[in-house]
Amino acid sequence: MNLERVTVAGGGVLGSQIAYQSAFKGKTVIIYDINDEAIEQVKKRVNALRDQYKHDIQATDEQFDDGLSRLSFTTDLASAVADADLVIEAVPESPSIKHDLYHNLSAMAPERTIFASNSSTFVPSVYMEDTGRPDRFLNMHFANQIWMNNTAEIMGSPKTDPDVFAQIVRFAREIGMVPIELKKEQPGYVLNTLLIPLLNAGGYLWGNDIADPHTIDKTWMVGTGAPMGPFGILDVVGLRTCYNITKDQSGDNPQAQPFLAKVKEMLDEGKLGRESGEGFYHYPNPEFADPGFLKS
């Protein structure tokens, strides 16, 4: 089956990007969000993508408008999914919100509809029974700024039908993603299973005054040829998110405290990372992008 009619539930940071990218690549997309104010915010997020598509992937205004013409918005879940081939769920990472949504979707969506979760931390078996169709449910996990960072990590539960998995791999390619196929459930998928230990190690080295962020990044960049180091990556993730995740996961760990205290100090000074123009580096021209950075 071709997956042409897509509904994205939740038009936040990631949902708005997933929806627009799918429409940009020719899919007919509906974004569902909870109320009119939320929909106003979703529209703002989608419109803000125009400059990024033009700058980062040289899209023209006509191409961007063409994508917009295939995108619509609603606060009515039943009508949003009435004819959906695929529902991509991108609501907040809160179990109660996700459980409720899947219960509702299970009753409202046609039997043929596939559900895919963009959850960063929950494996699909957590929600599969809520969906009423565990064989047609899996995770498809995108990275922030999906028009550039175009991985789609695809992870089924033990009950996912292999044919559904294959359809999602094909869909991911059709919307311009590089499909990353996981053979079994893994919290953190492939990317975060690799990335989080790197970021934690950077935090440990800085938090314990072993080396400063620029030295740590320089070491990683010179030593491996990577285009940025852990602190350049943290500026993209955003320091608020970094603080909240570290506190959630390592709040009781004494080793994480010096790092948390330093990040808190930066947040209090308004240094939020790339989004505020300053974090570990200054933007739009971060120091690590200067060729001299690696030589000094």
77 residue type, one letter: L
Distance in angstroms (rounded) separating the CA atoms of residues 201 and 205: 6
Q: Rule CB under 6 A: is residue 127 a binding residue for ligand NAD?
A: no
Q: Are 30 and 73 in contact (CB under 8 A)?
A: yes
Q: Closest distance between ligand NAD and the C-beta of residue 207, in Å?
A: 23
Q: Closest distance between ligand NAD and the C-beta of residue 261, in Å?
A: 24
Q: Rule CB under 6 A: is residue 21 a binding residue for ligand NAD?
A: no
Distance in angstroms (rounded) separating the CA atoms of residues 106 and 62: 37
- According to CB under 6 A, which residues from 64 to 123 bind ligand NAD? 90-93, 97, 101, 118-120
Candidates 12, 132, 179, 258: give the one binding ligand NAD (CB under 6 A): 12
Q: Rule CB under 6 A: is residue 13 a binding residue for ligand NAD?
A: yes
**Of 192, 126, 124, the residue nearest 164 (C-alpha):** 124
Q: How many residues bind ligand NAD (CB under 6 A)?
A: 24
Q: Closest distance between ligand NAD and the C-beta of residue 199, in Å?
A: 14
- Tell me the residue number closest to ligand NAD, measured at CB: 12
Candidates 11, 124, 202, 203: give the one binding ligand NAD (CB under 6 A): 11
Q: What's the distance, CA 277 to chain centroid?
A: 21
Q: Rule CB under 6 A: is residue 134 a binding residue for ligand NAD?
A: no
The interface region with ligand NAD, picked from 139-147, 165-173, 211-219, 220-228 by CB under 6 A, is 139-147
Q: Can you list the positions of beta strands (E) in the chain?
A: 5-9, 28-32, 71-74, 86-89, 114-117, 137-142, 151-156, 178-181
Residue 227 Ramachandran class (φ > 0 left, ψ -120 to 50 alpha, else beta):
alpha
Candidates 33, 85, 130, 235: give the one binding ligand NAD (CB under 6 A): 33
CB closer to ligand NAD out of 24 and 205: 24
CB closer to ligand NAD out of 13 and 166: 13
Phi and psi of 73, rounded to 5°? -130, 145
Phi and psi of 177, rounded to 5°? -95, 160
Q: Residue 171, exposed/middle/buried by CB under 10 A (0-12, 13-18, 19+)?
A: buried
Place of tokens 């200067």: 290
Q: What is the contact surface with ligand NAD in residues (CB under 6 A)?
A: 9-15, 32-34, 38, 42, 90-93, 97, 101, 118-120, 141-142, 144
